Amino acid sequence: MNWRGALFLGVMAALAGFSLSLVHQATAPVLRRHLLAAEEAALREVLPGAATYRYRTDLVKGAAGGKVRLVGAWEGIPSGMVYLLDSPGYGGPIRVMVGVRGGRITGLRVVDSAKETPGLGARVRESWFAGAFLGKHDTGGVGGIASATVSSRAVLRAAETALNLDRRFGRR
């Protein structure tokens, strides 16, 4: 390859990189709005009936292996808590949002399990699995998913961690 070919490839690579950065800058605010809207929908799903949600800045090292962000839900008076946890799954961390009121799970939603095996570990996102946690004050009796043991145990650990954190911090 002569120097002109190398120069051409270098210029093309620079243009491609510049184009990608422009696209990223243009789409970042839109992506942020969509993520916030999805989080708001998840909050309403896991802790129904709350009029507003107030974020707390507490960060607690959770037993599920990641930072835990406590989210207080209020209707003038505390109406419950929502815990956002990262729990180690088969393909990487699984982000789980768990609503708790009165020591019982009001809702559970797997917010992100993108790296889990499609058709196996990704099944933790299915509504029947999340529904098995409703009304529980512990995770005993909630079974795992066949062929997705690591992923389903990650969600079980996250739910148990949320209940434990609620026992410790939820009534403050």
> Per the structure block, which two tokens stand in for 167?
């026992």
Distance from the Cα of residue 84 to its chain's centroid: 6
d(CA 163, CA 140): 12
pLDDT for 131: 82
Q: What is the pLDDT of residue 73?
A: 61
- What is the edge-to-edge ordering of all strands in the sheet holding 93-101? 52-61, 67-75, 77-88, 93-101, 104-112
Span 20-77, pLDDT tens digits: 999 999 999 998 888 778 878 888 888 887 777 776 655 555 444 455 566 666 666 6
User: How is residue 94 annotated by DSSP?
Assistant: E
| pLDDT number for residue 128 | 76
Q: What is the pLDDT of residue 64?
A: 46
Q: Look at residues 143, 171, 139 and name the one whose alpha carbon lies nearest to residue 157.
A: 139
Q: What ranges do the domains of the chain cover?
A: 41-169
pLDDT in tens, 148-160: 667 788 888 889 9
73-83 average pLDDT score: 73
List helix spans (H) across 56-143: 127-131
Decide which of 17 and 122 is more confident: 17
3-state helix, strand, coil in the chain (%, to 5): 45, 30, 30
In three-state secondary structure terms, 59 is strand
pLDDT of residue 148: 63
Q: What average pLDDT does the chain have? A: 78
